[in-house]
Amino acid sequence: MIELLACVGVLAYALVFFLTPFDATAETPTPRWMLIFIWLFHPEYSISEWVGNDASRFGILDRIPLLVASAGILAVSYLLGRIVLEALRLDRLLTKLEVGVMGTGLGANLLSLAVLTLGVAGQLQNRMLFFALGLLAVACAAWRYKHWRVLKPTTVADDRWDRTTWVALACCLPFVLLIVLGSLVPPWHFDVREYHLQVPKEWYQQGRVGFLPHNVYGNMPLGAEMHAVLGMTLLNDWWRGALVGKAIIGAFAPLTALVLYCFGKRFLSTTSGAVAATAYLTTPWTAHLSTVGLIEGPYAFYFVVALYATVMALRVGSQPEAAGEPSDRLRLASLAGFFAGAAVSCKYPALLFIVAPLGIAIALLPRRVFYWRSAGVFALAVACGCGLWLVKNYALTGNPTYPLLYSIFGGESRTPSKDAQWSRAHQTPQGGLTVSHAIGEVKILTLTSKFLSPILIPLALIGLTNRSRRAITWPLAALCLYMFVFWWLLTHRVDRFLFPLLPFVALLVGVGVTTFTSKRWSRGMIGLLIACSIVGFLYDSSRIVSDNRFFVALSDLRQDLPNPHDPPEPDAVRYSHIHSAHRYLNSVVQPGYRAMLVGEAQVFNFNVPVLYNTCFDDCVFETMMNGLTKDERMNALRERRISHVFIFWYELERYRSPGNYGYSAYVTPELIQREFVEQGILREIPLGLDPGNSQVFEVVGWQTWGNE
């Protein structure tokens, strides 16, 4: 009877899910089932998009150097992590697969910290130094290889593979391929082009990691982004190197899936782990965030692997089947702490969402003489995982948590007004602390988001009813609730910030699939996994999830010129991600000169030097021009070698709109016309742009400045 009710619940949710529009905010909302129908019976639409609607633009071999560089970075990461695991005597507690996955994650953060250290020392363009670091790791690994080879790995009790396990793991493979291909497409997301890849670009070009007064985001921890700096150095090219960094971010998705498989295999069942990996990879959220270059993927990986090590630490000696010595608890606590610190090196909120609950668990749950030692070791390891970022911030800005906690630490270039602007922009929406708003957020997260999977919610709820797994499922549910509550109470509620919960929901799905053991249920779950994978693949390979021009030559994507084969407006704007003004400035700004940007912060695609600022920093145009005479303004432009000015009125209006982030009110169309155009300082370039949207100006007489 219970099994029948579970089946009815799964089918009922699926029906509601597919009847729900994939984007309720659209003018004509389209139900999910209709999109699936179109993609399923007209696959030529998606396939055409894969080559940019023009087969002559096909190119794939240019990805090979990027794949080789990415694989090399991951291999060195594994070797570094493997060496540390052996040094801590943790390799004897882990299976071979656990050693591989945890070692890669551990080494990735170590490599990131090494790049940060060398960057602060001004060695970011010293390629031989980075090659030497990799060769040293290879040499140490070769020296220890014989020991690794004879080391007897730990085994787990449940290593049985049934048909569901095979099907689940097979379903993962197409999504791994999609993520790899998608992560090698140039960035288009605002945040990625504003700072996730732009800041590594600036550091690489400067040859050092330094303070960026014009980009507040560049002074926060960027642990996941440092692999882009490494890629730029190894390839001696900031643009291709950025794609390597983007590919490394994407690689954390399959790594997380492997962690889920290992977690299930050790603490639940092999089938539960395989299904959890499938649920994670087939959810469109995973492909979306892993291919656009956002860092929630690495953040989620470090979260789940830190929890993994924490659970292992708590179980050492606490149960008859949990082998180990008291000292092993300290070693595992150090591993959990380092991974939690690695999450902090990606995003500050990890202190609240990861470090705090796991630290409390390690300190309070194992009530033995060693638990305070474990807590101390955990805290020290957290500091090792992220402390260099805090030290860097303190040295450069005077505030280890820059730009946060301004009232306590202050901070370079911060002011009370800027801090107030930052706080307003990141505060909980006004009037949002109500039950109705909470219900609305839950509805988005469980049904209406276009990046959801139809199996997540019903099977996770079924997993919570599994009495034999309560020791695992209930703490997972409590952790999800904890993060949701603080996300709802303390943040500005961007839904992707809850993505790190997806691995835990996926584990609940894995338990849900194995809750019933009848053949009818097993066959139904196999069919459901296959159907869900087909739906997920159709979504992930479409333009809804990300830029799906997987097989367009990189040379074409770098220019991203409008294609006559693209659909007509307004859809065509989604196919070309580079503003025409950017292309123009890239072609006309001469060596030794630069462009000034007002309102524009997505500057990654500029090949020429630019002056810009984010909305939270001083407006560079206002700082240079406000209160000066015509001659003084001309001299200022000449001293900074500014030949062109781009003003993005659309962005300025958006920032200044009620409830948005805010922006300096100095620059207005009237000011530019009255004090700059009419006085002969700036001359508008007729590019056919909408003057209410954006304008490009050249500085009058810049051609006469010579090579001063």
pLDDT tens, residue by residue, 326-349: 688 899 999 999 999 999 999 999
Give the per-residue pLDDT at 63. 96
Phi and psi at residue 326, in whole multiples of 5°? -55, -35
**678's tokens:** 């009419």
Give the per-residue pLDDT at 203. 97
pLDDT tens, residue by residue, 222-273: 999 999 999 999 999 999 999 999 999 999 999 999 999 999 999 999 999 9
Q: Find all residues with CB under 8 Å of 80, minimum gap 6, and list them.
A: 103, 106, 107, 110, 111, 137
Q: Is 44 a residue whose pLDDT tops 90?
A: no
CB 386 within 8 A of CB 342: yes
Cα within 13 Å of Cα(141), Cβ side:
17
The confidence band for 300, taking pLDDT boundaries of 50, 70 and 90, is very high
Helix (H) or strand (E) holding 594: strand 594-598
Instruction: Name the least confident of 67-71, 148-152, 463-467, 480-484.
Output: 148-152
- Residue 186 DSSP class: P
| Spatial separation of the C-alpha atoms in residues 325 and 328, rounded to whole Å | 5
Q: Find all residues with CB under 8 Å of 128, minimum gap 6, and list them.
A: none
| Spatial separation of the C-alpha atoms in residues 421 and 692, rounded to whole Å | 26
- Bridge-partner residues for 21, per DSSP? 31
Average pLDDT rounded to a whole number, residues 520-546: 92
Q: Find all residues with CB under 8 Å of 485, minimum gap 6, and list them.
A: none
Secondary structure (3-state) at 31: strand
Specify the pTM.
Answer: 0.95
Give the per-residue pLDDT at 320. 42
Exposure of 432 by Cβ count < 10 A (0-12 exposed, 13-18 middle, 19+ buried)? middle
CB 662 within 8 A of CB 424: yes
| Spatial separation of the C-alpha atoms in residues 245 and 226, rounded to whole Å | 7
pLDDT tens, residue by residue, 72-113: 999 999 999 999 999 999 988 999 999 999 999 999 999 999
Exposure of 27 by Cβ count < 10 A (0-12 exposed, 13-18 middle, 19+ buried)? exposed
CB 329 within 8 A of CB 375: no
- Residue 699 DSSP class: E
Give the per-residue pLDDT at 16. 92
Compute the mean pLDDT over every residue in the chain, rounded to the nearest whole number. Answer: 90
CA 109, chain centre distance (Å): 15
